[in-house]
Amino acid sequence: MRRAVIPGILLLLAISSCAQGDTVAKKKLEDLIPPKPIGWTSDFAGLFTGAQVAYLDSLLAKHEKETSHEIAIVTLQLDSVYFPSVKEFEKFSLALFTKWGIGKKDKNNGLAILISPSLRKARIETGYGLEEKLTDQEARIIMDTIIIPAFKKGEYFTGLVAALRSIIKEIG
């Protein structure tokens, strides 16, 4: 009798944990989006010092004042359960910046950078109004040549500042 009870309990535990896993996986990516940005730099992952956030915010505010282009930076610690592939990360990134409304509505001139150190992923999203000035291919080059090499060394701030300077030069 005892031998039959133990496998039965193990089977119930396995079924229970599978059901919980399905519930976790079915959670909408949009539910993971913070309700609103903190500023131009929303450092939810705590990658930057207060002085670094202030510097980034002042750089982005100055650029917005001069051009009306809005650039947002978001860092989040995301769980790989929700992001089994790059596609989910891309969908999430687009949903985040769409929900937050980065860029002027009439110009669609927003650009956003999402960084998730826990996933070891980053993405540049460009609004339609800036796509002629910074194409997806150009954004990929900035990721591959500036952001990724710096981030691999743990130099998030240095890499981000260099990337922003390159982006600002491109979009004017």
In a domain, 151, yes or no: yes
In a domain, 34, yes or no: yes
Sign of CA dihedral 105, 108, 110, 112: positive
Range of the domain at 86: 28-171
Instruction: Give the model confidence (pLDDT) of 47-99 as tens digits.
Output: 999 999 999 999 999 999 999 999 999 999 998 888 888 899 999 999 999 99
Number of domains in the chain: 1
Q: How many angstroms separate the CA atoms of 70 and 85, rounded?
A: 28
In a domain, 23, yes or no: no
In a domain, 4, yes or no: no
In a domain, 20, yes or no: no
pTM of the predicted model as reported, rounded to 2 decimal places: 0.81
In a domain, 167, yes or no: yes
C-beta of residue 71 within 8 angstroms of C-beta of residue 60: yes
Q: Where are the beta strands (DSSP E) in 94-136?
A: 110-116, 121-126
CATH number at 143 reads 3.10.310.50
**Cβ count within 10 A of residue 139:** 23
In a domain, 22, yes or no: no
